[in-house]
């Protein structure tokens, strides 16, 4: 039996309203996250007119945070927020939860985490705007403010 703490933790990469200082962080993450770390994943990030972002598959850097939790119930609350139901067709979900490799901003591997991804078709349907720098903020934080 190992004492590997990371295997017991639930890890989620967040890039939108669940980031610290953003609209949903306080309600869903602030009291539950045991670790918060700047991080990067590969994908493509889009600003959506509804006031939140969508990430699709891709090879660009998407900047956000790796949040760690010990309570597995957090995932159910996040699934609800992101309109993800694992037992329905992926095309019926607003976001789909999948595992991705997470990196430090310097490119070192941090391991795997859950992330909520939107289909490119849905992003286009919502008239999403590609964010070339891979950063979204609903409260005006710039990528350089860290």
* pLDDT in the model for residue 7: 53
Phi first, then psi, for residue 30 (nearest 5°) are -55, -50
* pLDDT in the model for residue 4: 44
User: Could you tell me the two tokens for 118?
Assistant: 């939107």
Question: What is the CATH code of the structural domain delimited by 5-140?
Answer: 3.10.490.10
Q: In which residue are the tokens 């009291």 written?
A: 31
Task: Give the mean pLDDT per block of 10 residues along the chain (146 residues).
Answer: 58 98 96 97 98 98 98 96 97 97 98 98 98 94 70
* pLDDT in the model for residue 6: 47
Residue 16 · residue 51 · CB < 8 Å? no
Q: How many CA atoms lie within 13 A of 73 on its CB side?
A: 3
**Is the whole model's pTM more than 0.75, yes or no?**
yes
| 24 closest CA partner among 122, 105, 113, 116 | 116
Question: In what helix (H) or strand (E) does residue 96 lie, and over which residues does it extend?
Answer: strand 96-103
Q: How many CA atoms lie within 13 A of 33 on its CB side?
A: 22
């Amino acid at each position: 039996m190992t004492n590997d703490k990371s295997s017991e933790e639930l890890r989620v990469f967040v890039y939108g309203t669940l980031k610290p200082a953003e609209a949903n962080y306080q309600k869903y993450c602030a009291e539950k996250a045991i670790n918060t770390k700047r991080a990067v994943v590969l994908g493509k990030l889009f600003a959506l007119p509804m006031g939140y972002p969508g990430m699709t598959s891709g090879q660009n850097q998407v900047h956000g945070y790796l949040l760690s939790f010990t309570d597995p119930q957090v995932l159910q609350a996040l699934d609800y927020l992101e309109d993800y139901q694992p037992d329905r067709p992926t095309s019926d979900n607003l976001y789909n939860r999948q595992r991705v490799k997470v990196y430090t901003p310097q490119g070192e591997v941090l391991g795997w985490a859950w992330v909520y991804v939107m289909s490119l078709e849905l992003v286009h349907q919502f008239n999403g705007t590609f964010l070339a720098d891979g950063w979204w903020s609903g409260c005006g934080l710039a990528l350089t403010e860290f």
